Amino acid sequence: MDTTILKGKPVALKIKEQLSLKILDLKKNNIIPSLAAIIVGDNPASKLYVSSKAKAFSNLGCHSEVFELPKNTTENELKEFISNLNDNDQFHGILLQLPLPSNLNEKEILKNISPSKDVDGLHPQNQGYIMQGEPKFIPCTPLGCLKILDYYKIETKSKNVVVIGRSNLVGKPIASLMSQSFSYGNATVTLCHSKTKDLNFHTKKADILIVAVGVPYLLKSNMIKEGCHIIDVGINRIDDSTNKKGYKVVGDVDYDSMIGKAASITPVPGGVGVMTVTMLLSNTVDAAYNKLLQRK
C-alpha cells in the first residue's frame, strides 16, 4: 500500500493565503490583528516557541508582543497582568505560554483570560462552547488536525476515530469535535488514555487514529489495521549521537513501521506542529474580525 504523507506546510500555506485577504480587509478598517504572548520564567523551549509565533505574525503583517515575567511572579500578579491586557484594546488575542512554573495554578489563571481574547481556546467558557457544538475558539493543535484532514480529503463521517490522550489542550477537544455534526465530524469516537484496558483492541478498529500523549513511538504498526489514517500530535526529543545536536525529534507513532501499512500519516517534524502557529494566527485574525463587527 502507498502511504500518503500528510505534510503540514501546504495546508498552512493555503490557510495563510486566505488569511492575508482577511488581514488586508481589517487594515482597511485600521485594525491590525495583534497578539500578546506571556512567558513566565526562563524556559528556553517556551522562548523559542513564542519567537516562532512572533515571526509568523510579522510575516503576514500582523503584530505580536512578548511579555516576559520573572519566575517568581505570584499568582495574583499574573492575574492582574492578564486583566490589564484584557482591557487593552490594542491586543485582540492573549496567549499564556505553558507550562507555567510549578507555584502557579494553570487552570485558575487561564480562567482570567477574557473568552473573547482566548485565542488558545483554553478558557472553560470556550471549551464549553465546543461541547455544545458551537465553538468560538478551537485550541490551535486540534484545529490544525482538522484542517489537515480536510485538506487531504480524509472522510470522517461514520468512521471509527480513536483518540489517544485526554488533555484539555488536544485529546478532549478533538474527541468532542470529531463526534459532533460538523463537516469534519460525524464520527464514532473512542477516547483512550493511560488507564485504558487493552489499547490494541481499540486501535486495531480505528479508521483514523489521533495520538497525543507525549510518549515516543507509543503506537506500533502491529497496533493498527491496514489502511488507517494517522495524525501524530506528539513532539518528543530523544537522544541521538549521530545528530550534531545530540538529539532528534520524533512523534508518538513509530513512523517508519507505518509506511506501507497506513493509508496516510503526518510526519514529525513537518506535520501537525507546522499547523499550530498558523491556527493561532487564524484565531487571532478571527478575534480581530469580531472586534470589527462590534463596531458596526
| Active-site amino acid positions | 53, 97, 120
> Mapped to the 3 state alphabet, what secondary structure does the chain carry?
CCCEECCCHHHHHHHHHHHHHHHHHHHHCCCCCEEEEEEECCCHHHHHHHHHHHHHHHHCCCEEEEEEECCCCCHHHHHHHHHHHHCCCCCCEEEECCCCCCCCCHHHHHCCCCHHHCCCCCCHHHHHHHHCCCCCCCCHHHHHHHHHHHHCCCCCCCCEEEEECCCCCCHHHHHHHHHCCCCCCCCEEEEECCCCCCHHHHHCCCCEEEECCCCCCCECHHHCCCCCEEEECCCEEEECCCCCCCEEEECCECHHHHCCCCCEECCCCCCHHHHHHHHHHHHHHHHHHHHHHHHC
Q: How far apart are CA 286 and CA 92, in angstroms?
A: 9
Hey, what amino acid is at 228? Answer: C
Bridge pairing between strands 236-239 and 247-250: antiparallel
Peptide bond connecting 269 to the previous residue in cis, omega within 30 degrees of 0 = yes
Residue 282 has, within 13 A of its CA and on its CB side, a CA count of: 23
